[in-house]
Amino acid sequence: MAITIEKQIVDYNVIKPSDLDNNDIDPRAAESPPQAAKQITESLDTGTQGQSKIVQMHEKVVRPDRLIGNTYKIKTPVSEHAFYITINDILLNPGTPFEKRRPFEIFINSKNMDHYQWISGLTLIISAVFRKGGDVTFLVNELQSVFDPKGGYFKRGGKLMPSLVAEIGDAIESHLKMIGMIVDKGLDQYQQALVDQKRKEFEAQNRLRGIDLESGSFPAGATLCLKCNTKATVLLDGCMTCLNCGESKCS
């Protein structure tokens, strides 16, 4: 509907539909444009002030005296001693709807001093990336893509770890999932139902042979699944099927 402006325009503001709901505008605005402009300006100012109070993660955020964190233990066959990875998080906007937990620093400790030099450098770089803010989840893929020229190893549960660096990335991934930065979609209900069905069929066949599998484990003779990197692929009904992710050569 066209609006006729009968008075002199003394000020104006450009608003986008996303900046202000139509319900927030006084219906009398069409009759009194100057009052409407004032109301819109006040609404935008209020919204801007509210947004400016939201603290985003960046390198100038001051470290508080106390941080919350988690420690992850890594025991690998490449080292006699375990590695302990501690990731500390900072809590931004506490007590508000914008409250969120973001990684701030990482420490890696071990009695094994063989890797001290490069591990110290790695922790400093990762901590610096954490403090930069933004999407730091790319670190997981970068670290998990590092392969040891001497070969990797299988961790408990049958998952392939190509290197110690990759296992550090795996620990960071677990932590980012825990604080909500990475959403683990996993299998949908239909895929999960298929995997559960295949596992029950395989366990039933093994019981007939007098073999019982431990809960959550995979058969000793299982081969590596190239999709999920887990040693969980078995021959079932003449087809190689992964009991972890459901990948099948026949599907």
Of 30, 53, 76, the one marking the end of a domain is 53
What is the number of other CB atoms lying within 10 angstroms of the CB of residue 108? 20
φ/ψ bin of 56: left (φ > 0), alpha (ψ from -120 to 50), beta (otherwise): beta
Of residues 195, 94, 91, 177, the one with CA closest to residue 137: 177
Is there a domain that residue 204 lies in?
A: yes
Of 53, 81, 96, the one marking the end of a domain is 53
Lowest-pLDDT choice from 36-45, 82-91, 209-218: 36-45
Is there a domain that residue 251 lies in?
A: no
Same domain, yes or no: 161 and 202: no
Same domain, yes or no: 105 and 161: yes
Is there a domain that residue 159 lies in?
A: yes
Exposure string (b/e) for 4-16, b if CB count within 10 Å is 16 or more? eeeeeeeeeeeee
Q: How many domains does the chain have?
A: 3
Same domain, yes or no: 14 and 74: no
Supply the pTM of this predicted model.
0.62
3-state helix vs strand vs coil in the chain, percent to 5:
35, 20, 45
The predicted pLDDT at position 185 comes to: 72
Same domain, yes or no: 87 and 134: yes
Same domain, yes or no: 206 and 171: no
What are the strands, taking DSSP E only, across 141-207? 153-154, 160-161
Distance of CA 196 to the CA centre of its chain: 26
Same domain, yes or no: 46 and 74: no
Task: Name the residue range of residue 214's domain.
Answer: 189-242
Q: What pLDDT digit, counting tens, does each position of 216-226 carry?
A: 567 766 778 87
Is there a domain that residue 128 lies in?
A: yes
Q: What pLDDT digit, counting tens, does each position of 132-168 carry?
A: 999 999 999 999 999 988 888 888 777 788 899 999 9
Is there a domain that residue 184 lies in?
A: no
Same domain, yes or no: 44 and 88: no
Same domain, yes or no: 85 and 7: no
Is there a domain that residue 62 lies in?
A: no
* Segment 95-113 mean pLDDT: 92
Same domain, yes or no: 107 and 151: yes
